[in-house]
Amino acid sequence: MGYSAEVVRRARDRLAQAKEDRESENREHLARAYAQVPRIREIDMELRRSMAQAAQAAFSGGVDVQEAMARVREQNLALQREREQLAETYFEEGYLDDSPICDKCGGTGYIGSTMCECLAELCRQEQKKELTILTGGRENFSQFRLDYYPDRVDPKYGVSPRSIMERVLETCRRYAMTFNQNSGNLLFVGGTGLGKTFLSACIARVVADRGYSVIYETSAHLFSKLEQAKFSPNEDNRREAAKFNDCDLLIIDDLGTEMPGQFVTAALYTLLNDRLLAGKPMVVSTNLNMDEMSRRYSPQIASRLHGGFNRMTFVGEDIRVLKNRGY
């Protein structure tokens, strides 16, 4: 999963702290056990001596090596059984269990060069926190109210806005629940206050919950970060820009609300082109139609949005206005 460097850093910090806390707790438990039951300290010292004896026997060679190793093994097993019996007698279960924070990676977060599931889970949690801050954290498909959309047939579409939005809702829900690297792209088109941002946030939360890396940005913030990386190319700015290409799903909300200019057009073309060529899914929402896209940016960008995305048209009345009227 292509988590951003900042998300991974926060997750690794949490794992390191958890590892330190576990080791500190284990040391504290052992110190108390030694004070309360001195025989446990003696056993541990004997176990360390026997390990040294085993190592010495292995290096010395000779016909008695296997016999010496067998004696050490028997002695160790007897000491371990005595230690376990003392632990069970004087302490609650697991009190002297000194297992690491993660049995698979030992608390390092990696198995070889592969991220361990313990660190991946912390990355998912950190990403969800980030998305909650950006989206408000309350969006849920079940909260999407279809009763805000008229149920009467609109001559322009031949069906009611509610029917259209029912299909949009179902498409978005299915996209999120079945998301994978081959899910393709969605383009949300329609006026303000019709639910584009809400459904974008719903998709972000569900896809992130399923363990994929998701970057959700408003258009203005996205181009601001790309501009900083271009004209103030320090390490932090470069990492911020890189995450837009690296993530599993990129969601760009309110495309067309940023300040226009040559840099925005060039940056948008590059971002769309790179992710389309790499087959990395995107969700883009905008108030602009295709003609307006072509005029504001370029025909090439409009062509990519038209040909490379599954277009979802949002219809109805501005929900914010309806709420103000008491609906």
- Weakest mean pLDDT among 46-60, 69-83, 137-151: 46-60
- Residue 118 burial by Cβ neighbours in a 10 Å radius (0-12, 13-18, 19+): buried
Give 231-285 as a 3 state SS string. HCCCHHHHHHHHHHHHCCEEEEEEECCCCCCHHHHHHHHHHHHHHHHHCCCEEEE
Averaged over 128-146, what is the pLDDT? 74
Region 116-130: mean pLDDT is 82
**Could you tell me the pLDDT band of residue 71, with boundaries at 50, 70 and 90?**
confident
Looking up tokens 């990129």 gives 250
The pLDDT of 68-81, averaged and rounded, is: 83
The mean-pLDDT minimum among 30-39, 125-134, 181-190 falls in 125-134
Which among 197, 190, 256, 198 is positioned nearest to 222, based on CA atoms?
256
Tell whether pTM > 0.75.
Answer: no
pLDDT per position as a tens digit, 296-326: 999 999 999 999 999 999 998 877 777 766 6
DSSP SS3 for 307: helix
**Structure-token match 């500190």, residue found:** 24
Report d(CA 3, CA 253) in Å as an integer. Answer: 20
| Residue 18: both structure tokens together | 């958890």
3-state SS assignment for residue 316: coil
CA distance 132 to 136: 5
* pLDDT tens digits, 210-263: 888 899 999 999 999 999 988 888 888 888 888 899 899 999 999 999 988 999
